[in-house]
Structure formats: structure tokens, C-alpha cells
Amino acid sequence: MNPLPPTTRESTILQLRRGLRPYQRRLWLRRLVRDGARIAAFVAAAGLVLAGAARLTPLGWAPLAAAAMVVAGLLALLIDAARVRPTLAETAMALDSEQGLRDRLASALALSERTPGDRPDAKSHEALVRLQREDALRSLAAADRRAFRPRLPQRALASTVLCAALIVPALVLPNPQSAILAAREEQRDAAEQQARRLDQTADRLGTGRESPDPRADVADELRRLAKSLRDRPADLDEHLARLGSMEDALRSRLEPGAEQRAAAMTSLARSLSQLATGSDSNPAGDPQHAAEDLDEMAEGLDDKSPAEHAELARRLAEMEPVARQAGPEARGALHDAASALARGETAAAREALAKLGDALERGQRQVDLNRDLARAANDVQDARRALAGSGPTRAGQGGQPGQPGSSSIPGSSAAPGQPGSSGQPGQPGQSGQPGQPGQGSQPGQGNQPGQGNQPGQGSQPGQGNQPGQGQGQGQGSLGGGGSNARYLGSGTGQGATRGPTTGNRQFGTGELDPVYADFDRLGRPGDPSYIAGSGGDGQIDPGSGQGAGTGNDGIVPYTDVYQEFQDLAITTLDRSYVPVDVKDYVRDYFSRLGGGP
Amino acid sequence: MTQPALDQPLVTGLSPEGFADRAQLIEREIQRVIVGQDALVRQTLICLVANGHALLEGVPGLGKTMLVRTIAEVLDCTFNRIQFTPDLMPADIVGTNVLVEESGQRVFRFQPGPVFANLLLADEINRATPKTQSALLEAMQEQQVSVARERHLLSPPFFVLATQNPLEMEGTYPLPEAQLDRFLFKLWVPFPSEADLITIVERTTGSTTAHAQAVADASEIVAMQRLARSVPIAPHVTAYAVSVLAATHPDGPRAPQLVREYVRYGGSPRGAQALVLAGKINALLEGRYNVATDDIRAVALPALRHRVIRNFEGEAEGITSDAIVRAVLDAVAPPAVD
């Protein structure tokens, strides 16, 4: 061994350190590759476990978790990169080991930082240290420049490849949990949508109103419901129960005859305005407008002759039947006004007419409240149905017992319910009670024999050329028991006759039995033709009896049956879920008819 | 023949290259007489340069005495041999005062014993009584003898090669552990291979016998000893030597299962000293200026095998000390960076 020419201690140390730098970087890279492969294997294994779990159970957060794993892996690699950065001493030791240098570099580097002190052999010790450094430098110069080639750990690499190979089919093949997740997502969306609807309803109800106005309380409750829907969209049953409870509460507040009363008030208001002004100044039947007209009429009473007073009294007396339906207060005030005018007591008549105007306005406010609550109830009902339709599939519930059929509304164009997609077969509904005899007053026009098993009660003569016989095929589209089945009775009353309605149709099985009726059996809410039955399908007993229509040729003026039809329509509107605009449509229809021929 | 003291600074100017050359010369000369046994020769030389002593164990006839005699010839040192027997007395080793007549007066004069030599062969040391053994062991440790309240220093280098016969244990006095610890190495003399045996037979049955020539003297040995001690050692290598020694203890944190089960006591601190010092010499002999962990591992077996005290189970199961030391070396891997 020939020692190198003498160099200073510092210069050899610097040379040694400088010579180790490239190896330090290469060693760092090797460690990063090694640890990166291990981290990748770990992430791949975790991803495989996650993918497997996601196929066994619905994990909505699986994609997020997978992304988090990748991010965590990258983060771990970054942290590891800082952690595994080798020192020069480590590099020297690793290079000694890799190149078989027998600790030359590590020893030289370690001893370069130590001083011999005052040991007796310091001189020879220092000489040997110098020789060591020079020997180390020679060894370093002869070392392979390509040392520390990155090496992939075979086991980690195999694990990564295996996991990746297993993950691909797990991701590509259809995942049965996706449908569940989609249903949940749909449920969340539906919850959000219904929450918005409830908020809108609450805004409509609560704006400008404060307690004790019941609409303000209802608005608060609706907002709480909306918040609960947003916060806990998965609690479908609870929300359905709360919505149902609220709907029941709202409907319990509804005045059953409110719409009939409203129709009567409209008709009365229109008639009073016509009486007061002598023209059709209030075609909409606005009670406030009518009150103003009454005030004007009252002010001009003194200018009228007794004969005119008598005529007014007579006209007012004719309105008493309508006023009776508008409410006792209105009827009383009308009666007082008529009586006062008949007696020629204009002062009393003015006072009575003022009371009549006030009664009309109060009644209108009550009607407005009723309509608001009814509309809110309908909104809640719609929300509940939409929410129920968005929920996961579950077993159907048994249908409610059928209610007696009572409809005489000629079902003419009810849209059939849309089939559900994945409902479970429901339990058969209980048989409905036999339908009540049809009360339809329209003349039978069909030429088919009636099929109802109840005797017809038609009392009006038919208009057809054939002898009047019950020809209806009333199927009680509005009768029958309720059911939650998806396929509900289509309620396609086709008779439009006075023949007897039949009992409710037996709730079917098979494709008619899915669960969670989407409640749109008669078309979509808002459809003018949408006339919902009051319940689901009960058993339908096809009517076999024939109508007892008479075969005369008489023509009955509609004014004779107007009141009866109106009563039935209003009753139906009150008892059944009918969209508000349809109710308004029906009311307006009768209101316009009520104006007289 | 100059005999410099070891505690004086190095003045000989012996370079590491000169050390290696001189050592190779010694080894080559010894191998002219001793056939095979290269490792034994190397380890004996390490012991000599480390200023330690060696305990040779082997069956009779393997050349233990021949080895020592050859070393003495090669080193041009004084050589004595003591055949230990049960009736050997301490005075027979260290010497005694004898009454002599000088100028008409009778005075006591110290008559040095055979221990006063550079190389001493203590043949079958376990056949002497403990009292006699301890007399020699005191001289080995202190490099001096005390007779009649007078200390008599031994001349460096002082190198004792004691031998033991592992077969004939009847009527022997096995060396106590504390005295075994005084030996730097315990060397196992293996049976030569057939090829070596052929060479031995050919060399020793002819008309001429191979003889070694002196290639070094005592002063050169002392210089080599000083240089060996001057070799710097990196901290991580020293730590490794300590770790190896600590692993020979059954309660050591890195002790292997074999040590935990079959070792009663591990090596003493002298064991770590032996590892480091012998490692330095091994590095120099291989032409390096630095001590590597491989040097520690190379000398671990002879340095530790007599310092590991087996328990009863170990002895009953026939677990050898060599197996234990190898288990320790397997358990304590050199510091590695990957």
C-alpha cells in the first residue's frame, strides 16, 4: 500500500464528503423506491379490501376513502422521503457494505471528526488516521459509480400487482351495492327536494303572519320538518311518520263544508253585487266587492220607493237558500235585511246589509284559512308521497279496508297509475264494502245493461232513445279502501250514468301488488283530470243490477239538479284529496252555473 | 536483543505496511515447519502481537509443542517449556531463592524459573494443582513474579502458550473461569486434513527435518504490539464489539435463544478488549488501517469461546461454546444500512 501524497486533514475530509454526495443521493433514491413500493403495496391492499367491502355492503364513502388512501400514501411517501434521507455516515456505511470496502469509508468519516487528544501514541494514531482517510479516498474513487441501483422489493411489487389485478375486476364488474347507493342518493335528493317544497309552503303560509294565526305555527312546524329532512335524510320512516302526522293534523283542522260554503259565498256575493249594481259587476263573486256593493246599495235605500224596497226584499229572500249554505251569520243578516226592507225600515236594512257584508268578509277569511291549510296539507301529502316513492324497496303493506263506494262523479278520464319499478308484492287489500247506490243524476246514455248489483236510484228520465235502463258500469272509482300498493285501482268509472255504482274492485296480486304506492294512480297532481279516489282498491263487486231509469222523454232542467250535483261535488272535494286548482275549477264551474240560466 | 517497554511512545517507525510484511514473513516461516493450521498460526500470531496469551486445546500429537517451538525459533526469542504435572510446585515455575556462597559468605540469590522467557510453553496446564496454576497465571497477568517479597519483572514480549488435552480429564485440575479469562484466545487445534497429513509425514520421516529461521526479534515484536494498539477504531465498530459481548449474557437484550437457555455467565469486559485488540491486529494483518466489523467477527470465536460459561443444561445437552458464539454472531449482525 502506497499512501497518497500528504494532504491536509481538512482537504481529505472534504474530498471524502464530496465524493460521498452522489452516493448519498442514489441511496436516497433507492430508499424512496423501496419504501414507495411498500407504500404502494399497502395502498393497493387497502384499496382491494375497500373494493371488496364495497361489494358486500353499501359504502357511499368508498370513493372518498379510496382517494384518501392514495393521498395518505403520497403523504406517507413525502414524510418517508424526509425521514429516510441518508446521512453521509449512513451513505459511507452502506457503500462499505455494498462495495465490500470493509468499513473503510465509515471508519474514515467517523474518525475524521475525532481528535486524538493527549494519548501517548497520538502521533502514530494521527498518522494511522491519515492513512485511513487516504485509503478510504482510494476506495471511494474505485467504487462503482452506479452503486445503489434502485431495487424494487419483490414481495411488495408482487403484492401491488396482485392487488391491482384484483381491484380492476372489482371496479369494472357491476356492483350490486351501486343500486342501493343510487337509491340512497335518490332518497337524499328527494329529501332535499321535499324540504325545499316544505320551505316554500312554510314561506307561503308564514309570510306576514304571526301566532296565534295557525298558519304561522304550521309554517314553523314545516320548517322544522324541512330541517330534519336535510339533516337526516336517511330516517325515511320517521319523516314519513311526521309528515303523515302533520298531514292528519292539518286535515283535522279543515272545515268539511268550507268549500261548499265558499261556493255558496261566491254565488251569494255575485248575486248580491248583481242585485246592488244591477249588472254583473262581480263575476268572480268576491265577497269584499260584494260588501262594498252592499254598502252602496244601503246608502241608496232611502232614495228608493217602497215598491223597490219590496222588490229588493223579494230578491234578497230568494237568495236565502244560498245564504243558508254560506253560513248562519250571512243567512241571518240576509234574512234581517230582507225583512227590514219588506217592512220599509231602511235603517235596519242598512245595518243588516252591513252585517251581511261583514259576514261575507269574515267568511271569506275563514275560507282563505281553510284553503291555505288544505293546500299545505296537500303539499305535505305530496311531499310524503314523493318521499315514500324515493325510499328503498321494502315489503308492501296490506291494503286498507275498502270504504263504501259513494261516488257518483262520472269518472271519465282518470289516468291509470304508473307502474312501480321495484316494489315488493303487497298484501292483498281487504275487500271493500259494496258501493253505495249510484247517485248520479245524469241521464244514462249508454246502451249496455248496467252491471251494478245495487238497484239504481236514478229518478230522472233517460234521454236516450232506448228505454231508460241503468246502463252504468260504475266501478266506484272514488270509493274503495285505501291501499299502499303501487298499482292502485285505476278508477275508470265509465258509466257516467245514474246506474248504481259497484263495490270496490278486489285488490289484485302479482303485478298489481308492489309496495309504496306512488299515489298517482289517477294521474299527476295538477292534472285537471286528476280525480283521486279516497282510498285504494278494495274488492270490487261488479254491479249486476240494472238501473231503473224510466223511459220517458222528459227533459229535466239542470237547475232542478244543480243543487244536488253541487252538494255532491263539494262533499267529494271535502272528503277527498283533490288539488287546489282542481277544486277551484270545480267550484268555479258550479259557481258559474249557479248564476242561473 | 533490545527489549523496549510497551508503555513508551512508538519510536520504531514501523509502518503498517512494514507490520503486514513482517507478519507475513513470520507466518511464512512458521508454515515452513507447521503444515496446514494456517488459521491457528494466524491466531497465535495475533495473540503474540496483542501481548496476550493463548490456551491451545487439542488432542496429543497435533503439533502444539512444535508450533510454540517454531515460533520461538522464528522470533529469535528465549523459549522455555514447562510440563505441568500434579507435583509441580510454584517455585518450579517462577524460581526460588537459593543459598549460594559468595566471597565466603552465604547469601540467598534468586534463581529464575522457566517463566523467565519470552515464549513459554505450559504443556498440559490442567495437570498441575491450582496453586501452581495460579503462580503462572499471576505472571501472565502481571508480567512479573514475586518471590520472597521481591518482584521480578518479566522481559517483554512475554507470551504464554498453554495447552490442554480434552480427552484425558482424569486427575486434572480444570482451570477456573477467572483464570481462563486471563487468556486472550483459546485456540482449538484441529486435526489436519489428509493432504496436510501426507505433507507432515513426508517432512518428518525423511532424512532432513525442516527448520525455521529467525525473521524477527523481540524488539520488533514489541514495535508491532505498539503499532497494533495505535490503530484507530471507529465508534460503530467498537459498539459492535460491545454488542457481541453483551449478547453472550443470557439477560442481554440481543442475546439469542441459545444463550438464554444454555449460558450461565457471558463474557467479561476482557472479552470486549480482546475483540477490539485482536480486531485491530487482524485488520493490520490484512493490510488495512481501519478495523472492520468483519475483523471483530473473525476473532470472536477464539476470543469468546472460553469466556462463555455454560450452565448445567448446556453441558448436559452438549452445547459447545463455539455453537453459542456462532449463535451470538448470527444474532448480532454488523450495523447495516440499506
CA distance A119 to chain B (A): 10
Task: Please indicate, yes or no, if residue A591 is contained in any of the structural domains.
Answer: no
For residue B302, the one-letter residue type is P
Q: Which residues pair with B97 in a beta bridge?
A: B110
Short-list A235, A319, A239, CA closest to A275: A319
B148 touches chain A (CB under 8 A): no
CA distance B338 to chain A (A): 6
Judged by CB atoms closer than 8 Å, whether chains meet at A102 and B294 is answered as: yes
Q: Are residues A131 and A191 in the same domain?
A: no
Judged by CB atoms closer than 8 Å, whether chains meet at A125 and B288 is answered as: no
B239 touches chain A (CB under 8 A): no
Mutate to test the interface with B, among A107, A126, A139, A152 (most CBs of B within 10 A): A107
The 3-state secondary structure of chain B, one letter per residue: CCCCCCCCCCCCCCCHHHHHHHHHHHHHHHHHHCCCCHHHHHHHHHHHHCCCCEEEECCCCCCHHHHHHHHHHHHCCCEEEEECCCCCCHHHHHEEEEEEEECCEEEEEEEECCCCCCEEEEECHHHCCHHHHHHHHHHHHHCEEEECCEEEECCCCCEEEEEECCCCCCCCCCCCHHHHCCCCEEEECCCCCHHHHHHHHHHHCCCCCCCCCCCCCHHHHHHHHHHHHHCCCCHHHHHHHHHHHHCCCCCCCCCCHHHHHHEEECCCHHHHHHHHHHHHHHHHHCCCCCCCHHHHHHHHHHHHCCCCEECHHHHHHCCCHHHHHHHHHHHCCCCCCC
Instruction: Tell me, rounded to whole angstroms, the distance of Cα B168 from its chain centroid.
Output: 22
Give chain A positions within 8 Å (CB) of B8.
120
Task: Please indicate, yes or no, if residue A570 is contained in any of the structural domains.
Answer: no
CA B34, CA B210: separation in Å to the nearest integer? 9
Residue with cell 259494496: A434
Q: Are residues A426 and A533 in the same domain?
A: yes
Q: Are residues A144 and A197 in the same domain?
A: no
Judged by CB atoms closer than 8 Å, whether chains meet at B235 and A110 is answered as: yes
Task: Please indicate, yes or no, if residue A572 is contained in any of the structural domains.
Answer: no
Backbone phi, psi, residue B82, to 5° = -120, 120
Count: domains in chain A: 3
β pairing state of B263-265 and B309-310:
antiparallel
- Domain B16-86+117-221 and domain B231-331, same fold? Reply is no
Judged by CB atoms closer than 8 Å, whether chains meet at B16 and A128 is answered as: yes
Backbone phi, psi, residue B54, to 5° = -125, 145
Q: Are residues A378 and A272 in the same domain?
A: yes
Within 10 angstroms of residue A475's Cβ, the number of other Cβ atoms is 30
Residue ending a domain, among A351, A368, A392, is A392
Domain of residue A103: give its range. 9-172
Q: What are the extents of the domains in chain B?
A: 16-86+117-221, 231-331
CA separation, residue A382 to residues A28, A85, A240, A386, B77 (Å): 66, 65, 11, 6, 117
Q: Are residues A419 and A544 in the same domain?
A: yes
Residue ending a domain, among A151, A172, A193, is A172
Q: Are residues A23 and A107 in the same domain?
A: yes
Judged by CB atoms closer than 8 Å, whether chains meet at B337 and A97 is answered as: yes
- Going by C-beta distance under 8 Å and a sequence separation of 6 or more, which residues neighbour residue A6? A130
CA B32, CA B24: separation in Å to the nearest integer? 12
* Superfamily of the domain at B231-331: Magnesium chelatase subunit I, C-Terminal domain (1.10.8.80)
Task: Please indicate, yes or no, if residue A177 is contained in any of the structural domains.
Answer: no
CB pairs below 8 Å between A and B: how many?
84
Short-list B108, B91, B117, B235, CA closest to A92: B235
Judged by CB atoms closer than 8 Å, whether chains meet at A125 and B287 is answered as: no
Q: Are residues A55 and A119 in the same domain?
A: yes
CA distance B226 to chain A (A): 9
Q: Are residues A421 and A273 in the same domain?
A: no
Task: Please indicate, yes or no, if residue A474 is contained in any of the structural domains.
Answer: yes
Question: pLDDT tens digit string along B52-62?
Answer: 999 998 888 88
* Closest chain A CA to residue B291: A103
Per-residue pLDDT of chain A (597 residues; tens, 9 = 90+): 444 444 566 788 888 999 999 999 999 999 999 999 999 999 999 999 998 898 889 888 888 999 999 999 999 999 999 999 999 999 999 999 888 888 999 999 888 777 666 666 677 778 888 888 888 999 999 989 888 888 888 999 999 999 989 988 888 888 888 888 888 888 888 888 889 989 998 888 888 887 778 888 888 889 998 999 889 888 888 888 888 888 888 888 888 777 788 888 888 888 888 888 888 888 888 888 888 888 888 888 888 888 888 888 888 888 888 888 888 888 888 888 888 888 888 888 888 888 888 888 888 888 888 888 888 888 888 888 888 877 555 444 433 443 433 333 333 333 333 333 333 333 333 333 433 333 333 333 333 333 333 333 333 333 333 333 333 333 333 333 333 333 333 333 333 334 344 444 444 444 444 444 444 444 444 444 444 444 444 444 444 444 444 445 567 777 778 888 888 888 888 777 777 778 778 878 887 776 544
Query: Which residues 25-54 of A have a C-beta within 8 angstroms of B?
Result: 27, 31, 34
Question: pLDDT tens digit string along A88-101?
Answer: 999 999 999 888 88
Q: Are residues A125 and A224 in the same domain?
A: no
Q: Is the ipTM of this complex over 0.85?
A: no
Task: Please indicate, yes or no, if residue A573 is contained in any of the structural domains.
Answer: no
Residue ending a domain, among A360, A392, A424, is A392
A111 touches chain B (CB under 8 A): yes
Give chain B positions within 8 Å (CB) of A97.
336-337
Task: Please indicate, yes or no, if residue A594 is contained in any of the structural domains.
Answer: no
* Coil vs helix vs strand at A6: coil
CA B182, CA B7: separation in Å to the nearest integer? 20
Judged by CB atoms closer than 8 Å, whether chains meet at B292 and A129 is answered as: no
Fold of B16-86+117-221: Rossmann fold (3.40.50)
* Closest chain B CA to residue A104: B290
Contact B71, B160 (CB under 8 A): no
* Closest chain B CA to residue A107: B234
pLDDT of residue A392: 56
End-to-end CA distance of chain B: 52
Measured between CB atoms, which of B230, B232, B292 is closest to A102? B292
b/e for A403-434, b at 16 or more Cβ within 10 A? bbbbbbbbbeebbebeebeebbbbbbbbbbbb
Q: Are residues A355 and A312 in the same domain?
A: yes
Give chain A positions within 8 Å (CB) of B24.
none
Judged by CB atoms closer than 8 Å, whether chains meet at B232 and A106 is answered as: no
DSSP structural state of residue A102: T
Give chain A positions within 8 Å (CB) of B336.
93-94, 97
Give chain A positions within 8 Å (CB) of B237.
103, 107
Measured between CB atoms, which of A86, A96, A129 is closest to B232? A129
Q: Are residues A34 and A89 in the same domain?
A: yes
Q: Are residues A101 and A236 in the same domain?
A: no
Does the pLDDT of residue B43 top 90, yes or no? yes
Task: Please indicate, yes or no, if residue A585 is contained in any of the structural domains.
Answer: no
pTM confidence score: 0.59
